[in-house]
Amino acid sequence: MTAAGVLHCPSCGGPVAEGARRCTHCDVPVATVRCADCFHMSAADALHCAGCGRELGLEPIARDGTLPCPDCHLPMAVMECGPSGLHDCGRCGGQFVEHDALRDLVERHDRFEVGGRRPPSLASVDTRVRYVACPVCHALMNRRSFGAGSGVVVDTCSRHGTWFDPGELPRVLSFVESGGLSRLRRRQNEEREQATRDRVSHAVESARHPSSSFEASNENTLAGTSIVADLLVALFG
């Protein structure tokens, strides 16, 4: 490394974009050390993860997988992550995280102390709007914002998992560690409390005006549906 954010391939010496997995000139892997906390890949001489900022140590064990990368269409490596798996493309750096694995990751990082890591030097992520297919069922996934305020738009299959473009998973986990889930829970609690107040208010009005009870009942149903919808939206925006 010769300057901040400027990397050079250890094989050919060519410039390498920060966050890249392989050299674009000679195709040699340049990010070869995997973080056990966020699964991000860093350069071989890195002491701290470029994704989450934590000290690098024992690496998660990857094995050959069969699921194809939605972008490169090459088989992805798979690693155990809680009760299920995380699939990683060694060429582009994209990651497909099964639902149970993502839940486990989020819960773990929700308990982490932010002070235990260095500020990460995350590379910019690709913000182009595009749709990719689920590597399991091959249906086009839905683009959704992860949480409220994370700034990360991911691709989700309701049945199988979530696709993270290169660099997106560490950003999501950093959002969780910074209190993003706590803010989300407060918002959900406020919405539930407001819904309860609305139901009580409708019940009082119905008691005062029995003839409008049917209309109030319909409004309650619609309000409840809206709250449920809002809570679902709050999870993935």
Rounded to two decimals, the pTM is 0.69
pLDDT (tens digit per residue) in 218-230: 433 333 333 334 4
226 inside domain = no
Please write the tens of the pLDDT for every residue from 141-186.
999 988 767 788 999 999 999 999 998 998 888 888 887 677 776 7
Q: Give the separation between CA 155 and CA 161, rounded to whole angstroms.
A: 9
Parent domain of 156? 61-178
Question: Within a domain: residue 132?
Answer: yes
Residue 117 falls within a domain, yes or no? yes
**In this structure, is residue 123 part of a structural domain?**
yes
Render pLDDT for 61-71 as a digit per residue (tens, 0 to 9): 889 999 999 99
Total of domains in the chain? 1
Which pair of structure tokens corresponds to residue 112? 């982490």
| Class of residue 36 by CB neighbours under 10 A (exposed 0-12, middle 13-18, buried 19+) | middle
